[in-house]
Structure 1
């Protein structure tokens, strides 16, 4: 057998892929995970980002003060008013790898898209792609289908339009299956561009987005004004901007950017900020504070401009650069950030003693709280360590989010279920490589108004915390997605709210960073009773009616099953709902929402009238006498 394989290994076995074939065969290398749009880092948002990044680079170079973005259904249109792609290179720039203007450091300085791949990936992964450039009264356009040129203008055309570039595309639904754009994710993208580019106006579906004060505006919009302990500190220097404050929430909240790119996984610049913050506070207050006490309850944003940055992946979510510029004599990113913060924050605290005093009180409050629960924390961790060996609540998977070398790390998922039957169905049908299951015993404790001490006192919460590895922040988070999988009834709804309360109260950054989801499971199964392969699973009354219409052609009878709980769905069927076509509803925290007020309203000591209001507003569908509830 081995000899036969050697004989078959000839010149014909070697295959060269052209650029578009390679992108379509290995899209994850270029845009990260694919997804259906339910996660903020799904590929369809990366496609939008790649196109807008080019417009931003034009603005940064001083050309174009307005960018127009229109997104409706599955079509995206982006228009800038920069210089426009040189007309003779319109086709090459979007269809030839390693072709672009950003290799010429004189044309573009400190831009994001340095590798010449971005728009080519958008082109290759779109069922329709059109690019048009306008320069000095002349225009040139070209249209593509999955990277193949299908039409282009003959020569150049005369036009009265202003200079700039227009890109229109529709993501390929054979690559991004059942995809949909979530407006909140798009709006967050647009706001980030506004915060990082003072003087730029972005028009998104007719609404204007402008931020004049940079990261100060970002942090002001993201934090609850009533809970901040002192006015936001705003520091700016050459190629660096920082905004920070402390609040009353648990956890640490960071927004980090490099050359306008939202580095959601952090990197050297964010690590340097954390280090410098602790060092500066220790030296200023002349006390050896623990790092976790200095950083506890902080909200901070950092933006850095680096010449030719080195990222740890094509999607540019983590900075790996060592130096601020290619020149070896240039300062390191770490050194640059540490020196800047050490000087500027120290100066600020000396000039603003009231802010310094408020910061000191917040740090020392965190220190007291940490010491108060140190004893119970130690005991709880010892119990959790013993339980982890025989943890019946957790059925773990083999790959985890910190496994940097794994291509599947972003697919890692923890399902939180209630009840043995539901846990059993998911456990039997899951992908053991990337999907884990954590089983709850009944309804979890309502943690509203309680201190973090309860996380260690309550065995279930403590084991969940350890299963996720988030005791010391999100750096060690073991799963990219935490999925609440409960029945779609009032009891299941209550469990969802209790879990949401737990995460919002003690780990709000987990929710803010888009890791928490609700699993959508079908409400109905419509099938041909004699031919079970003709089966359609329906998630709404509308889908059920459409399925009945489709399967009952020719007078055939159809069988309709109403699923009342996850335990009723067999493992074989469940596998279809948590695989490639899994439907997830993200838990999106509106930035204007103050968490304490939100939790107080929904989970506080409500009157019966308010409880009735909550239940009434969670009902999305009625089927005869039954009610189905889900998270609003």
Structure 2
């Protein structure tokens, strides 16, 4: 029986803005981490600051952003936008729900957190400095853990208009953190691709894109393995780059207002449906949707006014409409794809032919493995009742249990190797799968091989990845 505790007015607490952010940082920046993963908190702090600079560029103010990272973890960003209004510099970085993003005339189709982002950076940094330069005047303020340390008076300056931010994450919150510069560069490249013509520098290294998403996809795919040249389509508030490869599954990069939306949302759902409809109409054939989208590689970017996201860290778009007075996102994306992609395929018959061959190939492969897949799955289900190959753990990655992120599967060669690991493992989070010997090299072979090979099929079911990685049972796979 639970211990009886009192619950009175004395148990109720009211926190100021910085206390709440520091006590519950996950509500504002997601997980904390230590810098080993690209979505760890220190990179979110960087993102929240640079997002404001990107919004300035999108409003036509400033064509350059300078970023620096020192060895001791100090991050600095300088943009050449309009600068924070001098009388509101302190409020804009320390008063929650204060900012220009609430005025749709000052910021249209912005990505910033609408009055939260820089406050979170301020509260979670042991040193935070902001300078605003406007029309020959400068305002500077310095904070520590969200507490105002210096509020300097206006002074004259020769600096070009813009904003300068300097911060160092608080090591008492981000314990043993260390920046991975490659993660930062990858994020900066995304900003460059999504804002063609914008020049960003990181410790003097330059990042600039002339062709937007075409450059992004060109960098991410093996040009020798794609089935046709990358299709690049642009319209008002929407851009698309796409091709098909030789892999299995679908690969998407989706963006909203210059923000990488890792979990997609309404705009990506609209594109996936519009692609199927457009292809069917163009060829006059009722191809299966999975065959049309199999092996697709695409990047889509849209600009949405007053976007609604399904989480504070903006990983999935939930907006229904493109803007308060605009059409639905579904109609907006569908009309664009229907017109632009259809026109492109009519004007480029060699691409249309290559695309159709890829669809027909996917259809043939799907039908080829249908029979053997049924047999293999029946065999796997029987084996899974008592799978001698798998010594499972209690927790799994595709659950909401505490410790799910710590789950891992060790794949060993032979029972002797698995035996020693099995004895030493943590049964809560560590599983072991024993192969009979060196497995067949199935690289570049069809998926049919996986179903025909009993061990591969059992491993596939142990990992739970037959239909994709969304339900992967282990966070780490160790060979």
Q: TM-score, normalised by structure 2?
A: 0.92
Matched residue, 1:382: 378
On the 8 A contact 2:100/2:114 being kept in 1, the answer is no
Q: Closer, same or farther in 2 for the Cα pair 1:480/1:101, shift >3 Å? A: farther
Matched residue, 1:131: 130
Matched residue, 2:468: 473
Matched residue, 1:415: 409
Matched residue, 2:58: 60
Which secondary structure state, in structure 1, belongs to the residue aligned with residue 339 of structure 2? Answer: helix
Which of the residues 432, 456, 459 maps onto 2:454?
459
Which secondary structure state, in structure 2, belongs to the residue aligned with residue 169 of structure 1? Answer: strand
Distance 1:173 1:417 in 2: 36
Which of the residues 392, 412, 427 maps onto 1:395?
392
Question: How far is the alpha carbon of 1:36 from its aligned partner?
Answer: 1.5
Q: Closer, same or farther in 2 for the Cα pair 1:339/1:391, shift >3 Å? A: farther
Q: Closer, same or farther in 2 for the Cα pair 1:262/1:126, shift >3 Å? A: same
Which of the residues 183, 186, 189 maps onto 2:187?
189
On the 8 A contact 1:259/1:303 being kept in 2, the answer is yes
1:141-540 maps to which residues of 2 (within 5 A)?
141-153=140-152, 155-327=153-325, 330-391=326-387, 393=390, 395-398=392-395, 400-401=397-398, 411=405, 413-418=407-412, 419-428=418-427, 432=428, 435=429, 437-441=431-435, 444-445=438-439, 446-474=441-469, 476-478=470-472, 481-484=475-478, 496=479
**Per-residue Cα deviation, 1:440-465 (whole angstroms, up to 9, x for no partner):** 33655133343322322333432333
Question: How far is the alpha carbon of 1:35 from its aligned partner?
Answer: 1.2
Distance 1:92 1:387 in 2: 63
Question: How far is the alpha carbon of 1:65 from its aligned partner?
Answer: 0.3
Q: Closer, same or farther in 2 for the Cα pair 1:424/1:22, shift >3 Å? A: farther
Matched residue, 1:51: 49
Count the aligned residue pairs: 471
**Per-residue Cα deviation, 1:8-41 (whole angstroms, up to 9, x for no partner):** 3221111111111111121111111111212111
Root-mean-square deviation (Å): 2.3
Question: How far is the alpha carbon of 1:358 from its aligned partner?
Answer: 0.6
Which secondary structure state, in structure 1, belongs to the residue aligned with residue 243 of structure 2? Answer: strand
Question: How far is the alpha carbon of 1:171 from its aligned partner?
Answer: 1.3
Distance 1:410 1:194 in 2: 35
Question: How far is the alpha carbon of 1:394 from its aligned partner?
Answer: 5.3
**Per-residue Cα deviation, 1:172-196 (whole angstroms, up to 9, x for no partner):** 2222222222222111101110111
On the 8 A contact 1:61/1:108 being kept in 2, the answer is yes
Distance 1:30 1:101 in 2: 19
User: Which deviates more from structure 2 when the two are superposed, residues 454-463 or residues 120-129?
Assistant: 454-463
Q: Closer, same or farther in 2 for the Cα pair 1:417/1:65, shift >3 Å? A: same
Q: Closer, same or farther in 2 for the Cα pair 1:274/1:125, shift >3 Å? A: same
Which secondary structure state, in structure 1, belongs to the residue aligned with residue 188 of structure 2? Answer: helix
Question: How far is the alpha carbon of 1:279 from its aligned partner?
Answer: 1.5
**Per-residue Cα deviation, 1:497-548 (whole angstroms, up to 9, x for no partner):** xxxxxxxxxxxxxxxxxxxxxxxxxxxxxxxxxxxxxxxxxxxxxxxxxxxx
Matched residue, 2:27: 29
Question: How far is the alpha carbon of 1:426 from its aligned partner?
Answer: 3.1
Question: How far is the alpha carbon of 1:412 from its aligned partner?
Answer: 6.1
Question: How far is the alpha carbon of 1:112 from its aligned partner?
Answer: 0.8
Question: How far is the alpha carbon of 1:380 from its aligned partner?
Answer: 1.8
Question: How far is the alpha carbon of 1:86 from its aligned partner?
Answer: 1.3
Q: Closer, same or farther in 2 for the Cα pair 1:194/1:20, shift >3 Å? A: same
Q: Closer, same or farther in 2 for the Cα pair 1:426/1:452, shift >3 Å? A: same
Distance 1:344 1:472 in 2: 31
Matched residue, 1:523: none
Distance 1:173 1:444 in 2: 45
Question: How far is the alpha carbon of 1:391 from its aligned partner?
Answer: 4.2
Q: Closer, same or farther in 2 for the Cα pair 1:339/1:450, shift >3 Å? A: same
Question: How far is the alpha carbon of 1:312 from its aligned partner?
Answer: 0.9
On the 8 A contact 1:134/1:163 being kept in 2, the answer is yes
Which secondary structure state, in structure 1, belongs to the residue aligned with residue 297 of structure 2? Answer: strand
On the 8 A contact 2:396/2:404 being kept in 1, the answer is no
Q: Closer, same or farther in 2 for the Cα pair 1:317/1:381, shift >3 Å? A: same
On the 8 A contact 2:463/2:474 being kept in 1, the answer is no
Which secondary structure state, in structure 2, belongs to the residue aligned with residue 141 of structure 1? Answer: strand
Which secondary structure state, in structure 1, belongs to the residue aligned with residue 189 of structure 2? Answer: helix
Structure 1 unaligned runs (5+)? 485-495, 497-632
Distance 2:302 2:391 in 1: 40
On the 8 A contact 1:246/1:359 being kept in 2, the answer is yes
Distance 1:96 1:217 in 2: 39
Distance 2:235 2:247 in 1: 29
Distance 1:27 1:227 in 2: 43
Distance 1:386 1:56 in 2: 55
On the 8 A contact 1:312/1:318 being kept in 2, the answer is yes
Distance 1:443 1:318 in 2: 42
Structure 2 unaligned runs (5+)? 413-417
User: Which deviates more from structure 2 when the two are superposed, residues 309-318 or residues 341-350?
Assistant: 341-350
Matched residue, 2:415: none
Distance 1:196 1:2 in 2: 54
Question: How far is the alpha carbon of 1:325 from its aligned partner?
Answer: 1.4
Distance 1:261 1:215 in 2: 13
Which secondary structure state, in structure 2, belongs to the residue aligned with residue 203 of structure 1? Answer: strand
Question: How far is the alpha carbon of 1:284 from its aligned partner?
Answer: 1.2
Which secondary structure state, in structure 2, belongs to the residue aligned with residue 67 of structure 1? Answer: strand
Which secondary structure state, in structure 2, belongs to the residue aligned with residue 185 of structure 1? Answer: helix
On the 8 A contact 2:433/2:459 being kept in 1, the answer is no
Q: Closer, same or farther in 2 for the Cα pair 1:139/1:295, shift >3 Å? A: same
Question: How far is the alpha carbon of 1:283 from its aligned partner?
Answer: 1.6
Q: TM-score, normalised by structure 1?
A: 0.71
Distance 1:299 1:40 in 2: 21
Distance 1:343 1:303 in 2: 17
